[in-house]
Amino acid sequence: MFDRLQKKWKVSGLQVILILCTFAIGGSLTGLLGKKIMNLLDIDTRAVWIIVYIILVTLIWPMAVLLISIPFGQFRFFTGYLKKMGKRMRIIPGGSERTREKSNQSKKFRIAIYASGAGSNARKIIDYFRNSESVDIALIVCNKPGAGVLAIAARENIPSLLIEKERFFRGDAYLVELHQCKIDFIVLAGFLWKVPDTLIRSYPNRIINIHPALLPAYGGKGMYGHHVHSAVIAAGEKESGITIHYVDGHYDNGDIIFQAKCPVEPNDTPDALAKRIHALEHEHYPRVIEKLVASIA
């Protein structure tokens, strides 16, 4: 049952537990409030009391679970869940749930995330689009066996593709698998290989990357992670930041889409600066992806 719920709701194991706790506490709170309100009403007829009570708890329950979902961090899930219930019951316009689901599937933008490491940005992107009606994180592509991002894909029941250099650079760049997954858009999130021209030609202006510095400075081959932060600090820069850009045939060279800045503090270390950069990445990357997809769709 636990695994079925995880697949049905497309959430992690921890989220299933939090969602079930929200249901349980929200239901208990609904019953408690319902009885307290009924005690204030002077209703003698048993049949009338039952009808009023049912109507009352039906009205209270959505508000109760939404309230409880906030401290459990599941507000986004429950707003989507209640919206689907409203459409299924024809309370909210939008047709039958089956018709709506088919419509959503046809409209959803299917994104592949390319990553080489732990996958912290991938994790944030997956969380952001978890209940999206327009975006589906459909594939995780990785070039390193055992990378943390592959474990994330497994937990989230997202298909993953482990790639090797020969086919990626001198073959078809795995276009067959991308087309089989009906990928519309590619997001690089800590992917350390240069993207081959074959892939760029197949996805023109549909591949984006995030760089941990303010391009065009501190970009190019070998400039990633702590290499970038060390160079920024060594140069005595007063600020650094992130750059989200389109991918072309050169390292960190495509048109800039978005930049955000943060200060470089006196006596900064690469690790300390990396934390502020990661905070910017996690805050802005999913939102920029959402805007780009909306502009294309």
Residue 6: per-residue pLDDT: 66
Residue 220, domain extent: 108-296
Can you tell me whether residue 151 is helix, strand or coil? helix
* Residues 138 and 252 placed together within one structural domain of the fold: yes
Q: Is 141 in the same domain as 61?
A: no
Q: Which of 178, 181, 182, 220 is nearest to 199 (CA)?
A: 178
Annotation says 282 is catalytic: no
From 179, 211, 227, 250, the catalytic residue: 211
The total of structural domains in the chain comes to: 2
Q: Per the confidence metrics, is the pTM higher than 0.85?
A: no
Q: Are residues 75 and 134 in the same domain?
A: no
Structure tokens at 254: 């495509």
Same domain? For 83 and 191 the reply is no
What pLDDT, in 10s, does the model give residues 117-153?
999 999 999 999 998 988 999 999 999 999 999 999 9
- On whether both 90 and 118 belong to a single domain, the answer is no
**Residues 55 and 149 reside in one and the same domain:** no
Q: Which residues of the chain have pLDDT under 50?
A: 95, 97, 99-105
Reduced to 3 states, what is the DSSP secondary structure of residue 71? coil
Domain boundary among 79, 100, 121: 100
Residues contacting 244, CB < 8 A, separation 6+: 208, 209, 210, 211, 256, 257, 258, 259, 284, 285, 288
